[in-house]
Amino acid sequence: MKRLVLKFGGTSVGTTDRIKKVANIVKNRHQEGNEIIVIVSAMAGTTNDLKEKSNLISKNFESKELDVLLSSGEQVSSSLLSGALIDKGVKSRSWLGWQIPIVTDNNHTASQIIQIKTDEILKFISDGGVAVIAGFQGITKNGRITTLGRGGSDLSAVAIAKFFETDSCEIYTDVEGVLTTDPNIHEKAKKIEKISYEEMLEMSSLGAKVMQPGAVQASMIEDIPIHVRSTFSDKPGTKIISESEIDYKKTVTGIAYSKNNAKISIVGVVDKPGVAADVFEPIGKNNINIDMVIQNTSLDGKTANITFTIKQEDLKKTLNIIEENKQIINYKKITHNDKLAMVSIIGAGMIASPGVTHKMFRSLANEQINILAISTSEIKISVLILEDMTKKAVKILHKTFELN
Ligand code: ADP
Ligand code: ASP
Ligand code: MG
């Protein structure tokens, strides 16, 4: 007998008909003699609708109340699935995060799981019941409801797999698995059979929505293999596993992109120690994430320009922060661009293959795509380009690195 975690995403439980279909999948896996814990996301669109409602009340809706609001979506889907299972003759019950409890820190809207109590659910599943757990949510030690960041049901699944010491963690979604790129941008995207935790972490952090980055990071730390697979077919999906179990035949495993990036250049800062710290400290304190950073020295060697990228939604706030700190930073002028995209190639195979960088840049140049900034790590190269060039860039890179 095996103990399985099966997580179903928003599209998979998007309608009551789909919930009945999911109940059939769960019932079959249960009848094979497995102990089953199911995690569900909210029905597709629900979390966005709730978020929009909060925006209509206030653009600064309080984060603790936002968590109460957003977590309600998973209450609906977990009870509907449990009800569907009971209707099919399967013993089942739903649990909300606070009922278990799934204890988190109090970083509202992006909480981390600290502890999960297991005894009640373990007894229920060993007595033949299917436990259905509302994903994406937890509770602080002070009894306040929290959520785990967008896409956070993936993290719920990994954490449940860890605390319940399950034999597998399966993420059921609306695509065949992790693909070489987003199928919405390129019809030639192909299923990847095996991908390392590290590569998957880069893919999701750089825009591949299929797994939440926090969930991948947790699975990497705990070495919990994940199987990403389709709710709508029986075919095996993608195994996210340790790098040592993969034999790399290709340099590049996948291509990710993110839109809505902005770039700010601070021109003419004095070239001396501490300037970059003066620029980034107030930005960091305001919880604004910086992606790429480039600093170049002017010809006279006395002044420098600092360029960096952020999310478009943070542009106004960041410009204000820099202007407020003009006295300390001491610069000549600021320029900015928005509507930029970051396109990245990711692959552990890059480590052993020289020439990837120029191959990437040359193929973009041949398509007249201008590179505005570059950042690299051992297993990825990212470039910043104009947003309307995204599709073209992804397609040419997909071809160049033989993923078609
Ligand atoms: P779920 O609701 O099941 O959690 P998500 O919408 O969060 O599903 O993630 C699945 C979606 O991620 C896919 O439908 C696809 O549009 C998108 N996606 C982006 N990049 C990739 C990729 N490389 N592989 C697979 N899906 C991707
Ligand atoms: N419902 C939440 C969201 O839309 C969590 C999830 O889908 O994983 O972000
Ligand atoms: Mg998701």
Residue 174's pLDDT is 97
pLDDT tens, position by position, 310-329? 999 999 999 999 999 999 99
Q: State if residue 251 touches ligand 2 by the CB under 6 angstroms criterion.
A: no
Centre of ligand 1 to C-alpha 322, Å, is 36
User: Residue 210: is its pLDDT beyond 90?
Assistant: yes
Q: Report the alpha-carbon distance of residue 191 to residue 3 in Å, rounded.
A: 26
Tens digits of residue pLDDT in 233-266: 999 999 999 999 999 889 999 999 999 999 999 9
Q: Which residues contact 175 (CB under 8 A, 6 or more apart)?
A: 183, 210, 230
Q: Average pLDDT for residues 274-302, to the nearest whole number?
A: 90
Residue type, 153: S
Q: If you average pLDDT over residues 130-139, what whole number do you get?
A: 98
Distances 79 to 13, 58, 94, 151, 387 between C-alpha atoms, Å = 12, 30, 6, 20, 41
Percent of the chain scoring above 90 in pLDDT: 95
The two three-digit tokens of residue 71, written as one number: 């977590």
Q: What is the Cα–Cα distance from 279 to 330, expressed in whole angstroms?
A: 10
Beta-bridge partner residues of 258: 342
Nearest to 178 by CA among 265, 90, 258, 240: 240
Confidence of residue 83 (pLDDT cuts 50, 70, 90): very high
H-run or E-run covering 363: helix 356-366
Residue nearest ligand 2's atom 6 by CA:
151
pLDDT tens digits, 152-192: 999 999 999 999 999 999 999 999 999 999 999 999 999 99
- Please tell me if the CB atom of residue 10 comes closer than 6 angstroms to any atom of ligand 1: yes
Quick one: tokens of 381?
């190269």
Contact 137 CB / ligand 2 (< 6 Å) = no
- Chain-wide mean pLDDT for the chain? 96
Residue with tokens 């602080």: 140
Give how far the C-alpha of residue 369 lies from the chain's centroid of Cα atoms, to the nearest Å: 27
State if residue 152 touches ligand 2 by the CB under 6 angstroms criterion: yes
DSSP structural state of residue 175: S
> How buried is 361 (Cβ within 10 angstroms: 0-12 exposed, 13-18 middle, 19+ buried)?
middle
**pLDDT above 80 for 298:** no
- Contact between 257 and 212 (Cβ < 8 Å): no
Burial of residue 368 (CB within 10 Å: 0-12, 13-18, 19+) is exposed
Q: How far apart are the first and last CA of the chain?
A: 40
Query: What is the reported pLDDT for 199?
Result: 98
Span from the CA of 171 to the centroid of ligand 3 (angstroms): 9
Give the C-alpha separation, 9 to 44, whole Å.
8
% of the chain with per-residue pLDDT over 70: 100
Please tell me whether the peptide bond between 273 and the residue prior to it is cis, using omega within 30 degrees of 0: no
The stretches of 88-196 forming alpha helices (DSSP H) are: 119-126, 153-163
Query: Residue 398 pLDDT more than 90?
Result: yes
User: In the predicted model, is pLDDT for residue 299 greater than 90?
Assistant: no
Test site for ligand 1: of 182, 203, 226, 230, most ligand atoms within 8 A of the Cβ: 182
Residue 234 dihedral angles phi and psi, to the nearest 5°: -90, -5
Residue with CA at minimum distance from ligand 2 atom 4: 47
Q: Name all contacts of 109-114 with Cβ < 8 Å and 24+ positions apart.
A: 109/63, 109/66, 109/67, 109/70, 109/146, 109/147, 109/149, 110/147, 110/148, 110/149, 111/138, 111/140, 111/146, 111/147, 111/148, 111/149, 112/148, 112/214, 113/138, 113/148, 113/155, 113/156, 113/159
